[in-house]
Structure 1
Amino acid sequence: MPRTDRLMRLMDVMRRLPAPVTAARLAQETGVSPRQLYRDIATLRAGGALIDGEAGLGYTLTEDPALPPQSFSRLEIEALRLAVDALSGIGDAELTDAAQSALSRIIATLPERQAQQALHAITRSFASAPDRDPPQVDLALLRHACWNELALRIDYRDLQGAATTREIWPLGLSYSQRTLMLLAQCRLRMDFRVFHVNRIQKMDLTGDSFRPRRVALVRDYSRKMAACRRDAYAARGEKIAVALSQE
């Protein structure tokens, strides 16, 4: 688990569990060793978190009253509620659970009136589960490879049924109701490719890194797609002009 995610989980656990919380319980809840837990406590304290207690006695998280409460407009609260609810119609289970957890943490920091608005928002989405075949590979590993810029070797079966093995640089995921797509640079073709995630039969890390290339590659892909759209619009405009001239 990335360090930032681990520290956020530790803060969340300390908010939820009755204080003081023993180091053993915190280590169990966050999935780390006691030694790592003590290091994480020290890191949070160095970052300004008010954590009382010590090993053997348990820990208590004290929220700093000097910090202003988090605040959103009513429309922003509606937007957050709708976005999280709608995610159940396109996202995978892990992503949807993460969004619900994040929203719960946000609501917990709101003033009472705004927290009630978030819990009883007038805008809701009742989207059904995604209408697509489930992936055969570990999405957590796929996200890990994207974020950490790690090359993957995939066994892939395309829409025509042809099977290939490729080494790719995974760049990002695109969700919709019917498809989950992976944008990557294919090292075989030395070009951008978009893969159907549910057609990836097998996936392994190669041990190679393409850091720090992901952001630049995504930017290049966006420029390439924008140029293609401009060309398509120009070509369509020429066809319309020709048709009008022949009337």
Structure 2
Amino acid sequence: MSRTHRLFQLMTALRRSAGPVTAASLAAETGVSERTLYRDIDTLRGLGAVIDGEAGFGYTLIEDAHLPPLQFDDEELEALVLGLREVTQIGDPALAEAARTALTKLRARLPERSAHRLEYAVLSARRFVPPPAPGIDSSALRKACWDEAQIRFDYTDKSGAQTTREVKPLQISFFENSHCLMAWCVLRSDFRAFRLDRMSAMERTGTSFRPERIPLLRAYLDQIRAASFRKDQS
């Protein structure tokens, strides 16, 4: 881990903490010795972060000079909280953690009144039946989408039949309590949606489909909208 990344991790840990957090806890979270942690605290202070506390008492981030206050109205704050808390409920582990971290960063950048409204927002999201866990690495799938890299995976359909598919991954969407990959299926020469919990053994094929992703995704969404319109008219 680079020193820059470690300092960033330390700032995130301090932002997340509601009160004094011990050097031992911060050192464990950033993967360093307490001696190194003390040096990192001094470095952050030198860069402008106002960090209260000292060895033996714990540390609290009072002000982060590198994160100027953001301004949102009350409805915007409610929308942000609702959206991010929904991600913590339906996202895969990496996305859920990213949403929690984003909320922490927002809280650190907001004026006191707005930070209070963020902490105790009226709107929230609760799902008592979580979506099925993906059968593949969702982070790797998202990266394949961004990289416009074709992938191959094993797939089990709703009847239990198993096939191996090679696709151009376009987007991951959440449909009716399950995550689905929207893709161009090379086998079927058509658009298809695949539930992530039914996918396994995913790998890249080494074939790039750049710069087709955006045009293909637009065409797929147009097809879905047209089908929905026809259904509404029938």
Same fold (TM over 0.5): yes
2:159 aligned with 1:160: yes
- Which whole-Å deviations, capped at 9, do the CAs of 1:64-116 have from their partners, x for residues lacking one? 97996211111111221122222333222221111110111111011112111
CA shift digits 1:33-88 (9 cap, x unpaired): xxxxxxxxxxxxxxxxxxxxxxxx95643379799621111111122112222233
Q: Within 2, Cα distance between the matches of 1:220 and 1:86?
A: 28
The aligned residue for residue 73 of structure 1 is 73
What TM-score, normalized by structure 2, do the two folds share?
0.71
Aligned to 1:91: 91
Counterpart in the other structure of 2:209: 210
- TM-score in terms of structure 1 length: 0.68
Alignment correspondent of 1:61: 47
Match of 1:15 among 11, 15, 22: 11
Give the SS at the match of 2:77.
helix
Stretch of structure 1 that moved more, 9-18 or 222-231? 9-18
Gaps of 5+ in 2: 15-25, 32-41, 50-63
Match in the other structure for 2:52? none
Distance 2:105 2:205 in 1: 36
Q: Structure 2: how far apart are the matches of 1:225 and 1:127?
A: 27
Runs (5+) with no aligned partner, structure 1 = 1-5, 19-24, 31-56, 237-247
Give the total of aligned pairs. 195
Q: 1:227-246, aligned counterparts within 5 Å?
A: 227-234=226-233, 236=234
Task: Indicate the SS of the match to 2:47.
Answer: strand
Kindly report the root-mean-square deviation, in angstroms, between the aligned alpha carbons of the 2 structures.
3.1
Aligned-partner Cα distance in 1 for 2:97–2:68: 28
1:12 Cα deviation from its structure 2 partner: 3.8
Give the C-alpha shift of residue 9 in structure 1. 6.0
Q: 1:108 aligns to what?
A: 108
By how many angstroms is 1:168 displaced?
0.6
Paired position in structure 2 for 1:118: 118
Question: Residue 68 of structure 2 contacts residue 109 of structure 2 at CA under 8 Å; is this kept in 1?
Answer: no
Q: 3-state DSSP class of the match of 1:81? A: helix
